[in-house]
């Protein structure tokens, strides 16, 4: 820090001729930075202030009449369930894609494909919702039937199978498609930064490509993949429209992934009920939003912490 | 190596030396084996009632297995696991392509139906069945997105300037960290924030486009900060030092030297951040809502926006169901076109406005 201070802070005798323009500009820049922190604090403060009426209200005033915990509990379960399915499906695929694009595909093709996968991330979530409802859900119905017939001993596949495919399983898979580009973008970044000397040394010692990746690339990129997965998890937890469109939700807490009655997720529940909510209902929804905010904030902070820790390490290379 | 009974094709006497290339599968053999596996998969699938999905599933498993076993027999364990991973990685990539292709195909297939002049020139005012369009929603999306850009870009850009040119110590680290964290705020929470803010200021029934713009700004500011920061960092220090050496004040250096140098990157970053928020649905759904007519005033009354319009057309169709669903898909197609166009524009900006290198 002491070394970088010199150019930014002028020496003592120059401070006298600091022009007002300088002071205004520097103040404006600093003010904007602080303003962002204020906004973030404001998000928390306004949500809390609007959530308080729901926190203090008697249990029977909350929609469904069983209190706030009973209202939000199943929603939290649904949110976690969908996000975890998405994470389990998307992470291995994303690592595969990242490896393919960085070390397997022909150079030119890889650049184009990297761009195409980035475009996947830009597609609005409402469109994913449309696609999930119109294409993926009907396509998955046979699998739902098969799982209910053959796997019903696993609680997740207890059945009865949904005939529309609008289940937590479908939602999880759509979320997986949505977070795939996020995870693979970060994985690609760290994989391509694996030190060339390590890679070449491995190859020079006669390692096959996979052995080179196993020895030089994966250990280097591990924390990057974890951080990417956490960021993807954050996105999947907060995803609203795709879930709101696809899921036929609203039932209580259940881990059954393939039936017609699924727990809704926090975000989609807000989107579905907010336009018609009044009075304490609005406060309840905002309270659930506060819970979502806290969960995603925690996930993102952990992810960023891992990323930053890695950045400190890689600075040495 | 133990089961190596087959001699490699075309070899007479394997060379002895430090490098042994005695046993190798021919170059196209893995691909051939893989395709053979898929054909076999189609056969197996046909036994149990043919379907494309099961063909692909069986085919990929059998193909991978065929490549692995052949390679293991001829080339040994290490090379075989290398080929196995190549198969797996390529398959992963192929699987990831399926949803993209399917999504683009579906949206084009269903959306082109209503992509006509009416869609761009008519609103839904007094339309209950067929006809009608998204004029009002397009207007709303443009106004709200512009407003969000007007809010986000000055704040985001100034913050980026602070981080690169002025920031030191804990405040800088704190801002960087929380900007990163802010990129992960769920869009619906941003919407709730805007709702709570305007409810406290103007009462319960206040609805206006500006609420949506504020919600989008919360999502947009961190993206602008991050991309602008990256670009400003790329401006070489020599330019700044040359400017200081001529006695130019710091703020003029930033405005006249640093920003013009980085303008291409800044343009790209801002365009991409617009692309990120233009399709946001949830925050607009709970703040701005939807109307059937055209509203040009973002400070009073509800406005229609393209994503919300698409959502309600699909989920709450009226009596003429098909007409509503067609409009929904066309709106979705329009959204994708919009996002793609913004991405292309961002690319073009960075290509054409990049600082001239050399003389």
B165: chain A residues, CB-CB within 8 Å: 8, 29
| Torsion angle of C-alpha atoms B154, B160, B163, B165, degrees rounded to 10 | -90
Convert the pLDDT of each residue in A215-232 to its tens digit. Answer: 889 988 888 888 889 888
Interface mutation vs chain B, best among A210, A231, A244, most B CBs within 10 Å: A210
B237: chain A residues, CB-CB within 8 Å: 7
Q: Which of A6-10, A93-97, B189-193 is the least confident region?
A: A6-10
Convert the pLDDT of each residue in A184-202 to its tens digit. Answer: 988 888 888 888 899 999 9
Which runs of consecutive H residues, i.e. helices, occur in chain A? 2-8, 20-56, 68-99, 107-122, 125-131, 137-150, 168-192, 196-204, 209-212, 218-238, 241-246, 266-273, 280-314
Provide the pLDDT for residue A6: 46
Average pLDDT score over residue span B70-87: 86
Q: A254: distance to nearest CA of chain B, Å?
A: 24
Q: Which of A17-21, B26-30, B354-358 is the least confident region?
A: B354-358
A8: chain B residues, CB-CB within 8 Å: 165-166, 168
Pairwise CB contact (< 8 Å): A36 & B225: yes
Mean pLDDT over the full length of chain A? 84
Average pLDDT score over residue span B259-266: 89
Instruction: State which residue of chain A sits closest to B334, comparing Cα positions.
Output: A127
Pairwise CB contact (< 8 Å): B282 & A240: yes
Pairwise CB contact (< 8 Å): A40 & B178: yes
Which run of H or E residues covers position B307?
Answer: helix B306-315
Pairwise CB contact (< 8 Å): B186 & A240: yes
Separation between Cα atoms, residue A181 and residue A187, nearest integer Å: 10
Separation between Cα atoms, residue B83 and residue B90, nearest integer Å: 11
Convert the pLDDT of each residue in B163-214 to its tens digit. Answer: 998 888 889 989 988 898 888 889 999 999 998 898 888 887 888 889 999 9
Q: B177: distance to nearest CA of chain A, Å?
A: 7
Average pLDDT score over residue span A90-96: 93
Tokens 């003592």 found at: A12
Provide the pLDDT for residue A250: 67
Across the interface, of B161, B189, B329, the residue whose CB is closest to A43 is B189
Average pLDDT score over residue span B210-219: 93
Convert the pLDDT of each residue in B138-161 to its tens digit. Answer: 999 999 999 999 999 999 999 999
Separation between Cα atoms, residue B142 and residue B197, nearest integer Å: 23
DSSP string, A263-288: PPPHHHHHHHHGGG--THHHHHHHHH
Convert the pLDDT of each residue in A39-56 to its tens digit. Answer: 999 999 988 988 888 888
B152: chain A residues, CB-CB within 8 Å: none
Provide the pLDDT for residue A251: 65
Average pLDDT score over residue span B244-258: 91
Q: Which residue has the higher pLDDT, A93 or A223?
A: A93
Interface mutation vs chain A, best among B57, B189, B201, most A CBs within 10 Å: B189
Provide the pLDDT for residue B220: 93
pLDDT at B215 over 90: yes
B302: chain A residues, CB-CB within 8 Å: none
Across the interface, of B162, B193, B314, the residue whose CB is closest to A33 is B162
Provide the pLDDT for residue B149: 95
Provide the pLDDT for residue A109: 86
**B115's torsion region: left (phi>0), alpha (psi -120 to 50) or beta?**
beta
Interface mutation vs chain A, best among B80, B188, B346, most A CBs within 10 Å: B188
Provide the pLDDT for residue B11: 46
Average pLDDT score over residue span A75-104: 92
A127: chain B residues, CB-CB within 8 Å: 103, 107, 279, 332, 335-336
Q: Which of A105-114, B216-225, B307-316 is the least confident region?
A: A105-114
Q: Which two tokens stand for residue B226?
A: 């991050």
pLDDT grade, residue A63 (50/70/90)? confident
> What SS3 string covers B220-250?
HHHHHHHHHHHHHHHCCHHHHHHHHHCCCCH
Give the ipTM. 0.84
Q: B144: distance to nearest CA of chain A, Å?
A: 16
Interface mutation vs chain A, best among B88, B137, B162, B309, most A CBs within 10 Å: B162
Across the interface, of B154, B184, B286, the residue whose CB is closest to A234 is B184
Provide the pLDDT for residue B190: 92
Pairwise CB contact (< 8 Å): A123 & B279: yes
Q: Is A278 exposed, middle or buried (0-12, 13-18, 19+ CB in 10 A)?
A: exposed
Instruction: State which residue of chain A sits closest to B343, comparing Cα positions.
Output: A119
Q: pTM value?
A: 0.86
Mean pLDDT over the full length of chain B? 84
Pairwise CB contact (< 8 Å): B199 & A50: yes
CB B283, CB B215: distance < 8 Å: yes
Residue % of chain B over a pLDDT of 70: 92
Provide the pLDDT for residue B147: 94
Average pLDDT score over residue span A197-211: 91
Convert the pLDDT of each residue in A234-250 to its tens digit. Answer: 889 988 888 999 987 66
Residue % of chain A over a pLDDT of 90: 26
Separation between Cα atoms, residue A70 and residue A288, nearest integer Å: 11
Separation between Cα atoms, residue B287 and residue B144, nearest integer Å: 12
Provide the pLDDT for residue A146: 83
Residues near B286 by beta carbon (within 8 Å), at least 6 away in sequence:
A270, A271, A274, A275, B188, B191, B192, B195
Counting one residue from chain A and one from chain B, the pairs whose CB atoms sit within 8 A come to: 275
Residue % of chain B over a pLDDT of 90: 30
pLDDT grade, residue A316 (50/70/90)? very low
Average pLDDT score over residue span A274-300: 88
């Amino acid at each position: 820090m002491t070394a970088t201070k010199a150019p930014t802070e002028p020496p003592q005798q120059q401070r006298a001729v600091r022009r007002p323009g300088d002071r205004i500009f520097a103040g404006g820049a600093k003010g904007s930075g602080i303003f962002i922190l204020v906004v973030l604090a404001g998000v928390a403060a306004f949500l809390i202030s609007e959530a308080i009426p729901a926190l203090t209200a008697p249990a029977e005033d909350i929609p469904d009449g069983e209190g706030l915990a009973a209202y939000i509990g199943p929603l939290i379960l649904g949110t976690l369930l969908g996000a975890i399915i998405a994470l389990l499906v998307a992470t291995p695929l994303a690592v595969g894609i990242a490896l393919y694009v960085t070390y397997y595909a022909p150079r030119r093709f890889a650049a184009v494909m990297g761009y195409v996968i980035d475009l996947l991330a830009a597609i609005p979530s409402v469109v994913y919702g449309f696609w999930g409802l119109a294409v993926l859900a009907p396509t998955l119905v046979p699998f739902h039937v098969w799982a209910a017939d053959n796997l019903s001993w696993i609680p997740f596949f207890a059945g009865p199978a949904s005939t529309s495919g609008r289940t937590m399983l479908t939602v999880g898979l759509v979320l997986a498609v949505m977070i795939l580009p996020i995870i693979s973008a970060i994985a690609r970044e760290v994989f391509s930064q694996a030190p060339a000397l390590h890679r070449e040394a491995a190859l020079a010692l006669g390692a096959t490509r996979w052995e080179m990746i196993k020895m030089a690339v994966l250990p280097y990129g591990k924390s990057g993949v974890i951080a990417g997965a956490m960021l993807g998890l954050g996105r999947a937890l907060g995803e609203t429209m795709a879930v709101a469109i696809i899921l036929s939700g609203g039932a209580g807490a259940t881990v059954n992934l393939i039936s017609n009655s699924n727990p809704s997720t926090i975000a989609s529940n807000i989107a579905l009920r907010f336009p018609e909510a009044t009075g304490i209902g609005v406060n309840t929804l905002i309270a659930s939003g506060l819970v979502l905010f806290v969960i995603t904030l925690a996930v993102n902070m952990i992810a960023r912490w891992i990323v930053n820790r890695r950045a400190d390490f890689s600075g040495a290379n | 190596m133990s089961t190596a009974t087959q001699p490699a094709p075309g070899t007479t006497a394997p060379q002895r030396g430090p490098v042994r290339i005695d046993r190798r599968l021919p170059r196209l053999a893995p691909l051939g084996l893989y395709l053979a596996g898929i054909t076999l998969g189609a056969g197996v699938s046909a036994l149990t009632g043919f379907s494309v999905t099961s063909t692909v599933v069986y085919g990929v498993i059998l193909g991978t297995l065929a490549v692995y076993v052949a390679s293991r027999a001829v080339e040994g364990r290490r090379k075989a696991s290398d080929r196995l991973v190549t198969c797996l990685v390529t398959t992963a990539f192929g699987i990831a392509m399926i949803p993209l292709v399917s999504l683009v195909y579906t949206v084009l297939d269903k959306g082109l139906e209503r992509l006509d002049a009416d869609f761009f020139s008519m609103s839904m005012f007094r339309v209950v069945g067929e006809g009608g369009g998204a004029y009002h929603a397009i207007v709303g999306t443009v106004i709200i997105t512009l407003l969000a850009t007007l809010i986000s870009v000055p704040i985001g850009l100034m913050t980026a300037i602070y981080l690169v040119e002025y920031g030191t110590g804990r405040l800088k680290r704190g801002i960087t960290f929380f900007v990163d964290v802010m990129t992960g705020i769920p869009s619906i929470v941003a919407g709730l924030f805007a709702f709570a803010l305007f409810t406290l200021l103007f009462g319960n029934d206040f609805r206006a486009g500006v609420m949506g713009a504020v919600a989008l700004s919360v999502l947009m500011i961190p993206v602008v900060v991050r991309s602008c920061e990256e670009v400003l960092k790329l401006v070489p220090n020599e330019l700044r030092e040359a400017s200081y050496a001529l006695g130019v004040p710091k703020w003029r250096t930033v405005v006249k030297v640093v920003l013009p140098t980085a303008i291409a990157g800044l343009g790209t970053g801002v365009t991409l951040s617009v692309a990120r928020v233009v399709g946001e649905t949830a925050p607009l759904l709970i703040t701005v809502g939807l109307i059937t007519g055209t509203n040009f005033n973002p400070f009073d009354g509800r406005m229609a926006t393209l994503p919300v319009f698409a959502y309600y057309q699909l989920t709450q169709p009226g009596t003429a169901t098909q007409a509503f669903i067609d409009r929904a898909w066309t709106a979705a197609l329009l959204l994708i076109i919009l996002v793609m166009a913004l991405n292309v524009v961002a690319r073009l900006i960075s290509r054409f406005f990049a600082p001239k290198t050399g003389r």
